A and B are shown apart, each in its own frame.
Chain A
Amino acid sequence: ILNVEQSPQSLHVQEGDSTNFTCSFPSSNFYALHWYRWETAKSPEALFVMTLNGDEKKKGRISATLNTKEGYSYLYIKGSQPEDSATYLCASTMNRDDKIIFGKGTRLHILP
C-alpha cells in the first residue's frame, strides 16, 4: 500500500501571513500527485494534479511544487485569509492505472 505522509497535522497561521506544508510519498513508480482542499461540512475539492518533476501550479494565492526524485510536494498559501481555513489533502498514485491514496491531511486554521 502506498504511504502518503503530510506534515504538520495542524497549523495555526495569523491572517495575512504566508504558510506552507509538506506532502511526502514514495518516489519509485510515481505517476501523479494531487492536492485537495476540504472545508468543514463540505466535500473535498480538487486544487492541483501534478506529474512532472519540477512542476509548479498556481491558483490565486495558492501554489504547489513537486519533486518526484526525492518524493515531496509543497503547498504554499500567500497572504492567508479566513476563507483559507480548511484541511488540505495530498494524494498520490504510483502507476497510470492505479487509484490514488490520500494522506491524512494538514488542518489549517487562520487566526483573525
Chain B
Amino acid sequence: DAGITQSPRYKITETGRQVTLMCHQTWSHSYMFWYRQDLGHGLRLIYYSAAADITDKGEVPDGYVVSRSKTENFPLTLESATRSQTSVYFCASSEGVGTNYGYTFGSGTRLTVV
C-alpha cells in the first residue's frame, strides 16, 4: 500500500542497547524527517534528510544516528538507548519544504527504555 509506514509500532528495550526504528515511504518524496513527541515539548526535530545520502541535524540530535542510502527508507538508530529517549517517534516525508508542501506523518513508534 502506498504511504509512509513506521515499524515497530511499540518497542521496549533496555538501557545501553542499540535499537533501530524504521521508516519507509512509497511516494519517492525527497524529504524525510524524524521527530520525537514528549509531554510539554510538542514535536521536536531529531534529524532530517533532503535526499538520499544527505542528512542534517535537527533540534535534538544527540544520541541518535540516521542514514539514507535509499530515497524510500530513513532509519533512526539509538546507538546506546537511555531512559531519556523514552518517547513517541514520528517519521514524516514531504515533496519539498516551504510553500505548498505539507508533511505526511507515519503512525508513530512508541519506544520505552527500561
Partners in one complex: yes
Asked if B105 lies at the interface with its beta carbon under 8 angstroms from chain A, I say yes
Number of contacts between A and B (CB, 8 Å)? 62
Task: Tell whether A101 pairs with B45 under 8 Å between CB atoms, given A43-B90, A49-B101.
Answer: yes
**Residues of A contacting B: mostly:** loop
- Separation of A105 and B40 alpha carbons in the complex (Å): 10
Contact A43 B58 (CB under 8 A): no
Residues of the B chain whose Cβ atoms lie less than 8 Å from the Cβ of A104:
40-42
Residues of the A chain whose Cβ atoms lie less than 8 Å from the Cβ of B41:
104
Asked if B97 lies at the interface with its beta carbon under 8 angstroms from chain A, I say yes
Beta-carbon nearest neighbor of A102 in chain B: B43
Asked if A32 lies at the interface with its beta carbon under 8 angstroms from chain B, I say yes
- Separation of A51 and B99 alpha carbons in the complex (Å): 6
Task: Tell whether A44 pairs with B90 under 8 Å between CB atoms, given A34-B102, A49-B99.
Answer: yes
Asked if A93 lies at the interface with its beta carbon under 8 angstroms from chain B, I say yes
Beta-carbon nearest neighbor of A48 in chain B: B102
- Separation of A36 and B108 alpha carbons in the complex (Å): 16
Contact B103 A100 (CB under 8 A): yes
Asked if A111 lies at the interface with its beta carbon under 8 angstroms from chain B, I say no
Asked if A59 lies at the interface with its beta carbon under 8 angstroms from chain B, I say no
A interface residue numbers (CB < 8 A to B)? 1, 31-32, 34, 36, 42-46, 49, 51, 89, 93, 95-105
10 contacts between A and B (CB under 8 A): A31-B98, A31-B99, A43-B90, A49-B100, A95-B98, A96-B98, A99-B45, A101-B59, A102-B42, A102-B44
B interface residue numbers (CB < 8 A to A)? 31, 33, 35, 40-45, 48, 50, 58-59, 90, 97-108
